[in-house]
Amino acid sequence: MYPLHRPRRLRTTPAMRRLVSETEVRPRQLVLPMFVKEGLGSPAEIGSMPGVLQHTRDSLRKAAVEAVQAGVGGIMLFGVPAERDAVGSAGTDPDGILNAALGDLRAELGDSTVLMSDCCLDEFTDHGHCGVLAADGTVDNDATLAAYGELAVAQARAGAHVVGPSGMMDGQIAFIRNALDAAGCTDTGILAYAVKYASAFYGPFRDAVESQLAGDRKTYQQDPANAREAIREVQLDLAEGADMVMVKPALLYLDVLRSVAEISDVPVAAYQISGEYAMIEAAAANGWIDRERSILESLTSIRRAGADIILTYWAVEAARWLDR
Ligand code: PBG
């Protein structure tokens, strides 16, 4: 008799497929990144990210409540300030847009969700880099660490449960941990963007935060050609005290995500970034792919590769689909 083995047997009926399905995506595993802009009159859609908004403080509060009601596991907040300077002062100002909005959300939501904040300077600097610049125009690693420490403490005091350092400076996790502890914020966690590649797919995000970056981030973000240094970055961040580690982007780096998941002893997150969002939305808008199936397949793939947590702009919509 031929064939001897028939794997199709396990695919015969919906009930059979449901029984043998290995990977699940649950709403609680999804984190919604949100943008809040200072001085905005009404929420504004981001052109390259259809369906994603720059929020006012007021619309942010309402949308965050809806997200929590939909069952998402957390919120990652980014701020777009009205004024930028060379050192990103608006980030540490307690009345700066990100800190003020964190305060709003913590007051509104309490501990009913996990409130996270982008702990980076690029949204606040006029040159758009993730750090402060040395006299020769390069990003000064150690001077930037001091700024990150202040940023983290300001965000923790404003209401963040977890800070997300995304600037890829060496030593940032240990420095931030020490700064938080010295300020008495020992319960504030750190989601380390341990592995972050210099990706072309951040383009729409830079529209979302109205980035003024002229060059690129290749002296601090990783080369897409390299997998080995991802392991080194994760090991360093774990040794420095990361509570969770993240791989970013997600879909283009599933191999890296898998190898990180194999060595991490803390939860592993993956960031399905703006360009991944825009690609699927654009193809779906053209009728070239099925939108819902594509989104759910992408999330399933990221989970299958090893992510415990997924940051995704579809968090709320996907949570609703997954709850059906
Ligand atoms: C830096 C930061 C970036 C993103 C998250 N944090 C942009 C960058 O490194 O240029 C990108 C997220 C996305 O593309 O969705 N603060």
What secondary structure, in 3-state letters, does 106-151 show? HHHHCCCCEEEEEECCCCCECCCCCCCECCCCCECHHHHHHHHHHH
Percent of the chain's residues with pLDDT above 90: 99
Q: Compute the distance from residue 202 Cα to the ligand 1 centre, in Å.
A: 6
Q: Is 206 annotated as a binding residue?
A: yes
154 to 83, 106, 215, 236, 256: CA distances (angstroms) = 18, 14, 28, 25, 32
In this predicted structure, what is the pLDDT of residue 56?
Answer: 98
Q: What is the pLDDT of residue 324?
A: 83
Residue 261: CA count within 13 A, CB half-sphere: 18
218 is annotated as an active-site residue: no
DSSP 54-85: EEPHHHHHHHHHHHHHTT-SEEEEEEE-S--B
Band of the pLDDT at 272, cuts 50, 70, 90? very high
Q: Could you tell which of 166, 209, 220 is best to mutate to test the pocket of ligand 1, judged by most ligand atoms within 8 Å of the CB?
A: 166
Contacts of 205 (CB under 8 A, 6+ apart): 211, 273, 274, 275
The ipTM value here is: 0.96
pLDDT digits (tens, 9 = 90+) for 114-135: 999 999 999 999 999 999 999 9
Q: Give the confidence band of 319 by pLDDT, cuts at 50, 70, 90.
A: very high
Which residue puts its alpha carbon closest to atom 10 of ligand 1?
Answer: 202
Contact 60, 101 (CB under 8 A): yes
Does 205 contact ligand 1 (Cβ within 6 A)? Answer: yes
pLDDT (tens digit per residue) in 147-180: 999 999 999 999 999 999 999 999 999 999 999 9
As a whole number, the mean pLDDT across the chain is 97
The predicted structure's pLDDT at residue 1: 84
Ligand 1 pocket, residue 122 CB under 6 Å: yes
Considering only CA atoms, which residue is closest to atom 7 of ligand 1?
202
CA separation (Å) from 99 to 55, 111, 165, 269, 274? 14, 17, 15, 24, 23
Task: Count other C-beta atoms under 10 Å from residue 83's C-beta.
Answer: 13
Six token digits for residue 205: 């995000």
Catalytic annotation, pick one of 37, 62, 218, 248: 248
The encoded tokens of residue 292 equal 């819902």
pLDDT in tens, 72-118: 999 999 999 999 999 999 999 999 999 999 999 999 999 999 999 99
pLDDT in tens, 191-220: 999 999 999 999 999 999 999 998 999 999
Which sign, positive or negative, has the C-alpha torsion 131, 134, 137, 138? negative
Q: Establish whether 37 is a catalytic residue.
A: no
pTM over 0.90: yes
Domain boundaries, the chain: 24-218+226-323
- Residue 204: predicted pLDDT: 97
pLDDT in tens, 136-149: 999 999 999 999 99
Domain 24-218+226-323: which topology?
A: TIM Barrel (3.20.20)
List, for residues 284-317, the tens digit of each pLDDT value.
999 999 999 999 999 999 999 999 999 999 999 9
